[in-house]
Chains A and B, each alone.
Chain A
């Protein structure tokens, strides 16, 4: 495997690979998001209790799931970057941070939209909402740390350290907040044996979750390619591409 993986440590190869990942994944992700959202928002049956307002779930749940998934992958990438001293991994951490922040904001915003008719309040200090909010600040911290250095290399390494520390802290934050206050409804689709959600409602959701992941991968690949170009801007191959 390493023989196959090895050439991609070279920035030029990594750049080309990430561009082709972007090229193939982006159309699939967009089609998936389109199909899933359209199906979910227009054709899935309305909930017997929540009516049509449950439909925000088709945006909210994928964004919330991937707000955490992105953090996890960012932390792992940061850890690998620090342990094996792979420079390109550092760039991938920087590539992921804003995307995760946007997912988190979408989850918070759609959650607020849903909360107003359902709970009667835009915001409550519930466990999941709070930990999601903290997650947003962790993302912003990683990104702000990267930008507070003139030397981008130090900034990227510092951001890696912070993302790893944050990853250690995420479960602590999650459980402490859970213990503090819980109002949010439990998960409906993680119970594998018998999901407590109807099949016609579930399918568009699954499509959207999957498409969101592809969307995240494609965006990360694109941002990563841009970061590689920027960090290598003085190299010959970049100049050749720009020509």
Chain B
């Protein structure tokens, strides 16, 4: 099988498996919406303040929701031995990981990003600014998926790992949060926001380049 065909087959398998477990896919999105609802209730229903907080709330909620979803990235395949077979198959580990990254992003991150639209009605958020939030979230979620794949690969054989996940990912995510909020801030004042957006994009591309190699290494380590 050629590499591209292998990649396609891996992706197809992940998506087909996901089709059989629809309820699992919905949980992070539900969690995301619940976090969104908590904020106005805790802060108070004042429109102006909520609109200012909306992009940050969106980002925090996406990070939390992805943290919920991340332990599932490799756990099942590790337990039933599929991962081991894949690594024995002789295909490059980074290819296997990249396929999983893409399927994870499509299955978990994309719904989250799209449901950030709820900020517009709930937080009386400006539609034009939401469009920018959407772009920062696309870059950010790629970064989160990459870092998260590394963390969940490191923790895949650990029984007490779930609490450590946040400790591994959040400090490394801080630059992305900073640039995203800088872009949002600039856009809300009608200033050019290209440069933080480009840096964010660069971070995402960099992570996408390095993460598959590191993740494959971490998985090999866990497979012994």
**A interface vs B, CB < 8 Å?**
82, 130, 134, 137-138, 140-141, 144-145, 148-151, 154, 157-158, 161-162, 165-166, 168-169, 172-173, 176-177, 179-180
Contacts and interface: CB of A to CB of B under 8 A. Distances in A.
A70 to B, nearest CB: 16
A160 to B, nearest CB: 9
Contact of B150 (A154, A165, A173, A177): A165
B175 interface: yes
B182 interface: yes
A85 B203 CA distance: 29
Given A176-B175, A177-B174, A141 B164 contact: yes
A145 B221 contact: no
Task: Tell me the interface secondary structure of chain B in the complex.
Answer: helix
A162 B155 CA distance: 11
Contacts of A180: 178, 182
Interface in B182-196: 182
Interface residues of B, number: 27
Contacts of A157: 221
Contacts of B161: 148
A165 B157 contact: no
Task: Tell me the interface secondary structure of chain A in the complex.
Answer: helix
B154 A145 contact: yes
Contacts of A154: 157, 221-222
A150 B203 CA distance: 34
Interface of B: 150, 154-155, 157-161, 163-164, 167-168, 170-172, 174-175, 178-179, 182, 203, 210, 214, 217-218, 221-222
29 contacts: A134-B171, A137-B167, A137-B170, A137-B171, A145-B155, A145-B168, A148-B155, A148-B164, A149-B157, A149-B158, A154-B221, A157-B221, A158-B155, A158-B221, A161-B150, A161-B154, A161-B214, A161-B221, A162-B168, A165-B172, A169-B172, A169-B175, A172-B203, A173-B172, A173-B174, A173-B175, A176-B174, A177-B175, A179-B182
A140 B172 contact: no
A82 B221 CA distance: 11
Contacts of B157: 149, 151, 154
Given A141-B164, A141-B168, A162-B154, A168 B210 contact: yes
A151 to B, nearest CB: 8
A150 B159 contact: yes
A154 B221 CA distance: 7
A176 B178 CA distance: 7
B215 to A, nearest CB: 9
B56 to A, nearest CB: 14
A50 B80 CA distance: 64
Contacts of A137: 167, 170-171
Nearest to B167: A141
B218 A161 contact: yes
Contacts of B210: 168
B167 A140 contact: yes
Contacts of A172: 175, 203
Given A168-B210, A172-B175, A144 B167 contact: yes
B154 A134 contact: no
Contacts of A130: 174
B166 to A, nearest CB: 9
Contacts of A141: 164, 167-168, 171
Nearest to B218: A161
A205 to B, nearest CB: 29
